[in-house]
C-alpha cells in the first residue's frame, strides 16, 4: 500500500507530537518530516518532497500563508492543509488564495483530520462546516459588493457631482447654483441616480452613498 507522505509544520513541539502520534496509527499515512518554521521547511523540501504538508498559520519569521504561497508556486504537486486556531474570514480567504487545499480549526477532531488528509490527497478540497460557512459568506459579500460597484459605475460624472453635494447637505437650489444648472435638472439627476440604485428617497440615497463609499466624503 502506497502511503501518504506527510510533513508537519508547527512551532509547537507538543502539537506536532500529538498529530504525529495519531497519524502513526494509520496504515496509509507516514510522517516523513517535521519542522517548527517555514525556513526549515524550505530547506527540508530540497531533499524531501512529501505528498502533503500540514501547517499552522501563526509561526515565527514566516507565516503559514507565506509558506503556502511558496510551496504552491514552487512545488505545485504538494497538497497543503492549514490547521490553525485562526478561523476568521481574512485568514481563510488569504490561505485559499495562496493555494491551500484545505483548512481546519485546531480544535477539530482527529477523525476529521484523517478525513481531510485522505480527501485532499485524492485531489479534492476539504473544509469543515464552520470554515465552509465562512467561505460562503465571503463569496456572498463579495458578490454584493460587485453588484454595488456595478451600479456605482453606471452613474455619470454629473450625477456623482450632484450626489456629492446632496451628501454635503446642500438644497436643490444650492446645488443648482453651484453647478450652474436649473433646479429641475438637479431633480432629474437625483431621480436618475435613485432609479439606477433602486432607492426611494433622498434619505436612502445618503445612507447608500455613505455605506458604499462611492464618492469622496472628505
Residue-level pLDDT at 134: 55
> Hey, how many other C-beta atoms are within 10 angstroms of the C-beta on 42?
16
How far is residue 104's CA from residue 91's CA, in Å, rounded to a whole number?
Answer: 12
What would the grid cell of residue 185 be? 435638472
Q: Where are the domains of the chain?
A: 4-137, 154-210
Residue-level pLDDT at 97: 81
CATH code: domain 4-137 is 3.40.50.2300
Give the CATH fold of the 154-210 domain. Answer: Arc Repressor Mutant, subunit A (1.10.10)
How far is residue 187's CA from residue 83's CA, in Å, rounded to a whole number?
Answer: 56
pLDDT along the chain (218 residues), means of 10: 92 92 92 94 94 93 92 94 82 83 88 92 81 55 54 74 79 88 87 80 67 54
Q: Measured between alpha carbons, how far is residue 21 from residues 24, 30, 44, 118, 179 in Å?
A: 5, 10, 21, 17, 74
β-pair type (52-55, 102-105): unpaired
* H-assigned helices in 75-182: 89-98, 110-121, 129-153, 157-167, 172-179
Q: pTM value?
A: 0.62
Please check whether the two domains, 4-137 and 154-210, share a CATH topology.
no
Amino acid at each position: 500500500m502506497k502511503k501518504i507522505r506527510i510533513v508537519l509544520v508547527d512551532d509547537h513541539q507538543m502539537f506536532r507530537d500529538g498529530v504525529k502520534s495519531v497519524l502513526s496509527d494509520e496504515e496509509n499515512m507516514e510522517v516523513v518530516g517535521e519542522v517548527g518554521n517555514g525556513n526549515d521547511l524550505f530547506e527540508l523540501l530540497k531533499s524531501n518532497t512529501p505528498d502533503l504538508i500540514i501547517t499552522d498559520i501563526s509561526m515565527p519569521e514566516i507565516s503559514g500563508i507565506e509558506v503556502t504561497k511558496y510551496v504552491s508556486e514552487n512545488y505545485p504537486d504538494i497538497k497543503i492543509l492549514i490547521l490553525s486556531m485562526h478561523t476568521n474570514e481574512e485568514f481563510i480567504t488569504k490561505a485559499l488564495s495562496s493555494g491551500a487545499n484545505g483548512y481546519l480549526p485546531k480544535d477539530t477532531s482527529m477523525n476529521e483530520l484523517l478525513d481531510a488528509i485522505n480527501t485532499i490527497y485524492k485531489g479534492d478540497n476539504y473544509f469543515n462546516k464552520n470554515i465552509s460557512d465562512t467561505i460562503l459568506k465571503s463569496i456572498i459579500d463579495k458578490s454584493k459588493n460587485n453588484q454595488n460597484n456595478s451600479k456605482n459605475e453606471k452613474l455619470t460624472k454629473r450625477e456623482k457631482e450632484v450626489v456629492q453635494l446632496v451628501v454635503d447637505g446642500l438644497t436643490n437650489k444650492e446645488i443648482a447654483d453651484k453647478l450652474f444648472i436649473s433646479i429641475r435638472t438637479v431633480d432629474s439627476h437625483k431621480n436618475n441616480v435613485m432609479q439606477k440604485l433602486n432607492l426611494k428617497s433622498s434619505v436612502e440615497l445618503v445612507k447608500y452613498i455613505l455605506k458604499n463609499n462611492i464618492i469622496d466624503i472628505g
